[in-house]
Amino acid sequence: MQVNNTVDFKNFLSEKKEINRNPIDDFKNFVLYVDAEIKKSQQLKKDFLNGKDIPIYEIFVQSQKAKISLELLTKLRDEALKAYNTVINMRI
């Protein structure tokens, strides 16, 4: 299931009707969502530069959505690595 560019991630997850969702699949879907947001932002910029009639505020909003999504993904990655290192360094 691919993320539609027009749907936000919260709505995307609510569409999944699985009872036992896997957090790894959720993370994978979030990565796909962030990728879609970045690609949409890049496409809007290209279209604007090619002369299409796109409002500048729409480009700005999409760029900010992509930036915030990428920052959140980076924070999640950092926290996951920190948790992994904590578990690895535990003494038994």
Quick one: the chain helix, strand, coil %, rounded to 5? 75, 0, 25
Lowest mean pLDDT among 18-22, 59-63, 75-79: 18-22
pTM metric for this prediction: 0.71
3-class DSSP assignment, residue 23: helix
* pLDDT above 90 as % of the chain: 65
Residues with Cβ within 8 Å of 3's Cβ and at least 6 positions away in sequence, in order, are 9, 12, 29, 32, 33, 36
Residue 6 identity? T
Task: Find out whether 59 and 44 touch, Cβ atoms under 8 Å.
Answer: yes
Q: Domain boundaries in the chain? A: 9-88
* Interval 26-70: pLDDT, tens: 889 999 999 999 999 999 999 999 999 999 999 999 999 999 999
Task: Decide if pLDDT at 1 tops 50.
Answer: no
Report the chain's mean pLDDT, rounded to a whole number: 85
| Mean pLDDT, rounded, for 9-32 | 74
